[in-house]
Structure 1
Amino acid sequence: MEIDARCTPDYLFEVSWEVCNKVGGIYTVLSTRANILQKIHKDRIFFIGPDVWGEQESPWFREDETLFSSWREFAAINQHLPIRIGRWKVPGEPIVFLVRFNAFFEKQNDIYTEMWMDYGVDSIAAYGDYHEATMFAYAAGLVIESFYRFHHLEAENVIAHFNEWMTGATALYVRKHVPKIATLFTTHATSIGRSIAGNHLPLYDHLQVYNGDQMARKLNMTAKHSIEKKAARHVDCFTTVSDITAAECAHLLQRQPDVVTPNGFEKDFIPKGAHHSRARKKARKMLLNVAEKMVGHTIHPDALLIATSGRYEYKNKGIDLFIDAMNLLRKMPQQTKDVVAFIMVPGWVKGPRKDLQARLWEDNPAQTGNSSMESTSSDCPFTTHELMEPQHDMVMNQIRHLGFCNAEKERVKMIFVPSYLNGDDGIFNLPYYDLLIGFDMSVFPSYYEPWGYTPHESVAFSVPTITTTLAGFGVWAKKEGDKKEGIGDGIEVIHRDDDNYAEVAEEIAAIIHDLSLKSNEQVKLLRQSAAALADRADWAHFIRYYEEAYRKALHNSFIRLSYRYKLKIE
């Protein structure tokens, strides 16, 4: 049946644990997409997130008590729903509802029983963050129902959009209690697929023989997998972010996504022209200065600055492969430029290194005693922050095992930045994007990467990047822009599978070695090519996939409601 193109939402609710709560890549998806959604659905798009901040306010939320004050007071007094309303401090500044959910822990067992009776959600073996996420999700369902009924939206086209297993309970609540609302569920990565990959099991070669339910029991993931699977199967439209994850969903969750909704990027805040040049120069100066203070000697200003970043998923994000590639690179002959490789993944840290801070804060670095610099840096020449348990840290153990020493004679230096880069880490004190712009290349050799915002962000900031065919963005780029051999078009998408780890490491080392032989002018052309690719992967191009998903959700809800009405009158 053909879907009417006029089937568009009058109101949109979007629920995520990462609304005004920066945890991972989903924050980037929602916060950058918010701008274009706000332009299309001016103040009729409402993001719902957890109010987990207590006395310390979220840096991304600005409260506005004038917004929907009558409803907020009604919900607080009559429904015991503590809601704060304001604006998300991102481009577009959409309206946000932050809900407190602690009171629902008292009803946790009743809520789980209801989900089991209604949908067969198995929460028996739940632990840890499942409880917190699900109580938030249940509260978010109440918020949607309350707003819907208070404002009498029964005659409107209303869509509620849920992100990841953490909001599965919202999807199921709305489906049961407010059936006129069209429901849309997006999995950005299946919980069981990520777990299979993270447990060093071969996901891709064996995908067709895995049973999602069986693997969830084996890997102690039953509750998360169960609620994700039930949400996926009971919404009006189910989406995921890439063709790779769509195949995963079809097999492990037993529903083929209705639409693939690739992640776009909002480019409005990226510096252009002279501003870009100044920002890049500032970032390079900061990166080189920190590196020099760490290793205790001068690094040539034309050194290649290479980065990998993301969550500390050692195998899934390819951090292990990145370090091995750097080890191969330092053994290659005829390298004309030094390489400083930064691993920027948040770990378990005590805080910034005090000795490094002292050297960075010296008014006149030339007068800093060399003996002091060498004695402190030789104890910890790799990491910018003090780790809680360095002896158990996988990055540090691999760097040391391979014999890196960051000595002056070494052509490849390794710098581990195990801190969130929010602008207050104590060493750089710059946000991640303000540092990213200073790199010459980024490398993301992921094994499990449903989309891959890190390479996407890199090309958006004109940083040439290497990624793999196991990243959703890599697959997209392979189709759309990676047409030349090597890094010549600003990106190289390397084929990766369950069996070619060593070959991928060799290819990465060869590409960076080739980059080290290029002139500054040639590297500048590569940066321009990277930016041109990013122009085709912004939200202006990708929002159409969400509009298709909205139409399908509404269309399928109409069919569902018509069938329900037909059964009722019969």
Structure 2
Amino acid sequence: MKLFEESWEVCNKVGGIYTVLSTKAKYLVEKYGKDYFLIGPFVKNNIEYVEEPLPSFLEKVYTDLSNMGIKVHYGYWNIDGKPQVILVDFYDFFKKEINYWKYKYWEWYRIDSLGSDYTYDEPFSWSVAVGILLEELDKVFPEKKVLHAHEWLSGGTILYLKAKGLGYRTIFTIHGTVLGRSLSSRNIDVIETLNKINPDQEAYSMRVHYKHQMEKNAVKHSDIFTTVSPILAKESEVFLGKSPDRIIYNAILSKDRDIYKDYLFARRWLEEFVVWYFFPYYYIDLKNTFFMYTIGRYEYYNKGLDLVIKIAKRLNEENIGKNIIFFIFVPTGVTGIYRNVIRLYSSYRLLKEILEKEKTEIVGSILREDYSKIRKIFEEVLPKISKGNKPDIITHELFDKNDLIYNELQKAGLDNEESDRVKIIYAPVYIGQDIIFDLPKEKILPGFDLGIFLSRYEPFGYTALESLYYGVPIVLSNRTGFALSLDYYNLKSDYICLVDVKNIDNEEEKIIEFIRNLSSLDPARILDIRKELYNISKFYDWSSRILDYISLYES
């Protein structure tokens, strides 16, 4: 059997599907070896992808597809298991063939993509190109073949295979619905709306009908349809006209971890960040500081970012007895690091290098009560520190000058005044892919005291699960598939604070008290809590969960 798994997020981080694929690949490689292929879009200068020479089975395929404007790249994804990947460069094909294939999908499936935008046309063209690739591979591999495709962006491939009558067994997994995301992004309650609208008409009114129709057809024509939570199963039944054949919760690649060691390393990184970011303006007592974070895609209402800001504003008005540093990790378009931020960072790095190099002489000077050496260092470094009146609340220059998160933080009075109890660091970049956030998230997030996730629309919710894996307590929306799974498996902790985001005004006090109590615990108790939460996360390990997918592949 040859197993092909297709997603727009193979070697291409966008959201949670990237986590699904990158964490379970190791176990599929162990099971299927070189019979397992991941397929994604080719992205230039991709640090996660290692190119290798084309294997013999791809050489003729490469030539035939190149003549059509489709170029295939072969290599491996540099993650656990090092799965082999085929990445498809489809842009020449896209330019030449887009209108023809939009017509064919209208002819085959009545998908109305007239007037569709780039957010549809780009992944649609890619999915057709992948379908053509698999058509060629069908001639190479006579054995059983399975395609597991994720989300509507890959739906065009399933529909291509079906239209061509190719002998692939197809599995289609959705991690959210087009209509659900669109409704929630307009701050419309998806659960309350389920039985009050005509889904197809609503998709037209919101101009997402072409994506919705692609998704609905992929659900209809796939051999097996799966979702990642009961919430999404109900949504699929109403919006897509079909209940899933299976519900398979997501999982993670769980490793044995030294909770305390990981915490200390990450905490030092966070405290060092505060030193160079804030100390040029004012002093913060790091021993009396509570670190919070939220992380996720830039979906302002879906991810409940307005509610997160509301809680931050409330904390700024309260006095929990601690300084609060709140990191908001939500990637969006940036032009670069703020000039002032990079100056502070560079000056700090320079100062560290000088102190490390000269530390013996500096200590000797202090013992002699000769401070000329220290004065010289100050004279060399301090002029390079150019700063404004207060620390910026954002680390990078944004493409969008009307960025909603930034504007709402300012409206909430969260602007890093020295008197503010809550200090904000809005980091609009992916952790580990930036100069100042230069470590992977597993090296940074364990240092936090709390993760806060108030999504209105979150069919699963990896970010909260990962927080538990790092041993970090969470405030979690009850609207997430992950929250439902905790209840389903009877996994409980006093340090998982579930809140009803529909009634957030009534839940504010509960959240504030949870944070107040958490911030007052002694270090020994905190370490026990971190171990407890980490142990809960191990329940969601792919080593056992992967069997659910393997049973589908081999059925």
Q: Which residue of 2 aligns with 1:63?
A: 51
| TM superposition shift of 1:389 | 4.4
**Match for 2:199 among 206, 212, 217?**
212
The answer to whether structure 1 residue 128 and structure 2 residue 112 are counterparts is no
Give deviations 1:476-511, integer Å, cap 9, x for gaps: 123335535xxx2x42222333xx132233332221
Given the alignment of the two structures, is residue 356 of structure 1 paired with residue 341 of structure 2, yes or no? yes
Q: 1:356 to 1:78 in 2, by over 3 A?
A: closer
Aligned to 2:106: 116
Compute the displacement of 1:407 (Å): 3.2
Distance 2:415 2:91 in 1: 49
Deviation string 1:152-203 (CA, Å, 9 cap, x unpaired) is 22xx3x2111111111110011123244211111111111110010012221
Verify: 1:27 aligned to 2:38, yes or no. no
Is residue 183 of structure 1 aligned with residue 170 of structure 2? yes
Q: How many angstroms apart in 1 are the aligned matches of 2:220 and 2:20?
A: 23
Q: Is the 8 A contact 1:133 1:166 kept in 2?
A: yes
Q: Check 1:149–1:275 CA distance in 2 against 1; reply closer, same or farther (3 A cut).
A: farther
Rate the CA distance shift 1:82–1:387 in 2: closer, same or farther, 3 A.
closer
Is 1:393 aligned with 2:403? yes
Per-residue CA distance 1:527-559 (angstroms, 9 max, x = gap): 1111011010111232132134335xx4xxxxx
Aligned counterpart for 2:209 among listed residues 215, 222, 225: 222
The answer to whether the Cα contact below 8 Å between 1:259 and 1:549 also exists between their aligned partners in 2 is: no
Structure 1 residues 445 and 374 mapped into 2: Cα distance closer, same or farther (>3 Å)?
Answer: farther
How far residue 23 of structure 1 moved from its aligned partner, in angstroms, is: 1.8
Q: 2:363: which partner in 1?
A: none
Superposition deviation, residue 290 in structure 1: 4.7
Among 434, 442, 457, the alignment partner of 1:448 is 457
Residue 568 of structure 1: aligned partner: none
Residue number among 12, 16, 38 corresponding to 1:47 in the alignment:
38
Q: What is the alpha-carbon distance in structure 1 between the residues aligned to residue 475 and residue 312 of structure 2?
A: 14
Counterpart selection for 1:92 from 81, 84, 89 = 81
8 A Cα contact 2:10 2:38, kept in partner: yes
The 3 A distance-change label for structure 1 pair 304 and 370 is farther
- Listed one character per residue, the Cα deviations across residues 107-132 of structure 1 (whole Å, up to 9, x for unaligned) are 22221222222222222231112111
Equivalence for 1:301:
287
Normalising by the residue count of structure 2, what TM-score does the alignment of the two structures yield? 0.89
Aligned pairs (5 A) from 1:463-474:
463-474=472-483
Matched position secondary structure for 2:39:
strand
Equivalence for 1:383: 394
- What is the DSSP-based 3-state SS (H/G/I as helix, E as strand, rest coil) of the residue aligned with 1:536? helix
Pairwise CA RMSD: 2.3
Deviation string, structure 1 residues 376-418 (Cα, Å, up to 9, x no partner): 152x53112223444x222222222222343333322222112
Matched, 1:458 2:464: no
- TM-score between both structures, scaled by the size of structure 1: 0.86
1:450 is aligned with what amino acid?
Answer: P
* Matched residue SS, 1:92: coil
Query: Which residue of 398, 416, 419 maps to 1:409?
Result: 419
User: Hey, what's the Cα distance between the residues in 1 that align with 2:490 and 2:445?
Assistant: 21
2 CA distance for matches of 1:531 and 1:224? Answer: 38
Q: Could you say which residue in structure 1 is the equivalent of 2:231?
A: 244
Q: Tell me, what secondary structure is at the counterpart of 1:526?
A: helix
Which of 513, 517, 525 aligns to 2:516? It is 513
Paired AA for residue 312 in structure 1: Y
Q: Mapping of 1:239-318 within 5 angstroms?
A: 239-268=226-255, 271-272=257-258, 275-293=261-279, 296-318=282-304
Distance 2:224 2:513 in 1: 44
Residue identity opposite 1:289 in structure 2: V
* 2:155 is equivalent to residue 152 of structure 1: no
After TM superposition, the structure 1 stretch with the greater mean CA deviation from structure 2, 355-364 or 528-537, is 355-364
Which secondary structure does the structure 1 equivalent of 2:501 belong to? coil
Identity of aligned residues (%): 31
Question: Which residue matches 1:533?
Answer: 536
The equivalent of 1:560 in structure 2 is: none
Note the alpha carbon deviations across 1:330-379, whole angstroms, 9 max, x for none.
3334x23221111111133221122222222324489499999795152x
Consecutive unaligned residues of structure 1, counting only runs of 5 or more, are 1-9, 555-570
* Residue type of the alignment partner of 2:92: A
Aligned to 1:557: none
Give 1:347's aligned residue: 332
SS at 1:544's partner residue? helix
Q: Provide the C-alpha distance between the structure 1 equivalents of 2:42 and 2:420, rounded to a whole number of angstroms.
A: 49
Q: 1:431 aligns with which of 427, 440, 458?
A: 440
Q: Evaluate the alpha carbon distance shift between residue 214 and residue 506 of structure 1 in structure 2; reply closer, same or farther with a 3 A threshold.
A: farther
Amino acid at match of 1:361: S
**Counterpart-to-counterpart distance in 2, 1:337 and 1:404:** 16
- Residues in 2 aligned to 1:415 and 1:371: alpha-carbon distance in whole angstroms: 25
* Cα deviation 1:291-350 (Å, max 9, x = unaligned): 4247532332341100001111111111111111122223334x2322111111113322
Aligned residues between the structures: 524
Instruction: Give me the whole-angstrom Cα distance separating, in 2, the residues matched to 1:294 and 1:182.
Output: 61
Q: In 2 relative to 1, CA 127–325 (structure 1 residues): closer, same or farther, beyond 3 Å?
A: same
CA deviations 1:211-241 (Å, max 9, x no partner) are 2211110100011011010001101000111
Residue 365 (structure 2) aligns with: none
Deviations 1:262-317 (CA, angstroms, capped at 9, x unpaired): 1111123x743565245334433344335424753233234110000111111111
Residue 524 of structure 1 and its aligned partner are, at CA, apart by: 1.8
Match of 1:421 among 427, 431, 436: 431
**Letter of the 2:258 counterpart:** K
CA distance in 1, matches of 2:305, 2:260: 34
SS of equivalent residue, structure 1 residue 534: helix
Distance, in Å, in 1 between the alignment partners of 2:64 and 2:492 is: 60
Q: Which has the higher helix share?
A: 2
- In structure 1, C-alpha distance between the alignment counterparts of 2:138 and 2:261, rounded to whole Å: 45
Moved more, 294-303 or 536-545: 294-303
Return the alpha-carbon distance in structure 2 between the equivalents of residues 148 and 294 of structure 1.
Answer: 63
Shift of the alpha carbon at 1:255? 0.9
Cα distance in 1 for partners of 2:526, 2:316 equals 20
Structure 1 distance, partners of 2:206, 2:263, is 48
SS in 1 for 2:33: coil
8 A contact 2:171–2:224 mirrored in 1:
yes
* SS at structure 1 position matched to 2:76: strand
**Structure 2 contact 248–548 (Cα < 8 Å) conserved:** yes
CA distance in 1, matches of 2:409, 2:91: 43
* Inter-partner Cα distance in structure 2 for 1:370 and 1:316: 44
Unaligned runs of 5+ in 2: 353-376
